[in-house]
């Protein structure tokens, strides 16, 4: 049975396949790039899901009066975690590293898309079309 507790990963898989299929099947170069972008975006969603802990808050050091360590003013702390941390109550937070990694991946994705689109512009100038089969036909004729 499909496990709905992992629905975000199913969304990742669906997005990834939609992107990949578009990338492979479309002849239009811009559509190919859109497919590539969806494909890359699904990976971003995958990473963000990795970092998420249910009930976790943002990884910010929360000030506390007595201990100098966060005691849950940030809110989302679960009861049993709060009890188990008597001396220095810790805040349950999401792992920030995957999110930070994805900032880099987003930049890379933007750069790839920009370069790809500028290539498409130049291809359009050189061939007068952005349909792959038409480009192949022109190349073979030449």
Partner 1 sequence: MSQNLPVLLVVVPMMLAPIAALINRSGPAWLIATTGTWFAFGAAVQLLRRVMAEGVIVYSLGGWAAPIGIEYRIDVVSAFVALIVSAIAAVGVLYARTSVASEIEEDRHALFYAAFLLNVCGLLGITITGDVFNVFVFLEVSSLSAYAMIALGQDRRALTSAFQYLIMGSVGATFIVIGIGLLFVMTGTLGMADLAERIPAILASGEGDRTIVVAFIFLTVGVTLKLALFPLHLWLPNAYTYAPSAVTGYMAATSTKVSVYLLLRFFFTVFGEEFSFGRMQLDKILMPLALVSILAMSLVAIYQSNVKRLLAFSSVAQIGYMILGISFGSVVGVAAGIIHLFNHAVMKGALFMAMGCVMYRIGSVRIEDMKGLGKTMPWTMAAFVGGGLSMIGVPMTVGFVSKWYLVQAALAEGNWVVAAIVMVGSLMALIYIWKVIEVAYFQRREHDDQIDEAPLTLLIPTWALVAASFWFGIDAGTTSDVAISAAESLLGMMQ
Residue whose token pair is 């003013």 = 73
Q: How far apart are CA 134 and CA 13, in angstroms?
A: 32
50 binds partner 1 (CB under 8 A): yes
| Token pair for 9 | 């990963």
Q: Which range of residues in 3-11, 45-53, 72-80, 84-92 is near partner 1 by CB under 8 A? A: 45-53
Crossing angle of helices 7-25 and 29-51, in 10° steps, is 160
Rounded to the nearest angstrom, the gap between the alpha carbon of residue 29 and the centroid of all alpha carbons in its chain is 23
23 binds partner 1 (CB under 8 A): yes
18 binds partner 1 (CB under 8 A): no
Asked if 115 and 73 count as a contact pair (C-beta separation under 8 A), the reply is: no
Shortest gap between Cβ of 132 and partner 1 (angstroms)?
A: 8
46 binds partner 1 (CB under 8 A): yes
122 binds partner 1 (CB under 8 A): yes
Shortest gap between Cβ of 39 and partner 1 (angstroms)?
A: 6
| Token pair for 27 | 């002849």
Q: Which of 111, 133, 134, 137 binds partner 1 (CB under 8 A)?
A: 111
């Amino acid at each position: 049975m499909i496990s709905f507790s992992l629905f975000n990963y199913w969304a990742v898989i669906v997005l990834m396949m939609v992107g990949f299929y578009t990338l492979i099947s479309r002849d239009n170069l811009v559509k190919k790039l859109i497919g590539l972008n969806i494909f890359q975006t699904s990976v971003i969603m995958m990473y963000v899901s990795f970092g998420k802990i249910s009930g976790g808050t943002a990884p910010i050091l929360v000030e506390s009066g007595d201990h100098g360590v966060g005691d849950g003013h940030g809110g989302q702390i679960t009861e049993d975690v709060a009890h188990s941390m008597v001396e220095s109550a810790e805040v349950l937070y999401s792992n920030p590293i995957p999110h930070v990694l994805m900032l880099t991946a987003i930049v890379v994705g933007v750069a790839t898309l920009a370069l790809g689109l500028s290539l498409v512009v130049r291809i359009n100038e050189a061939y007068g079309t952005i349909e792959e089969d038409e480009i192949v036909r022109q190349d073979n004729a030449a």
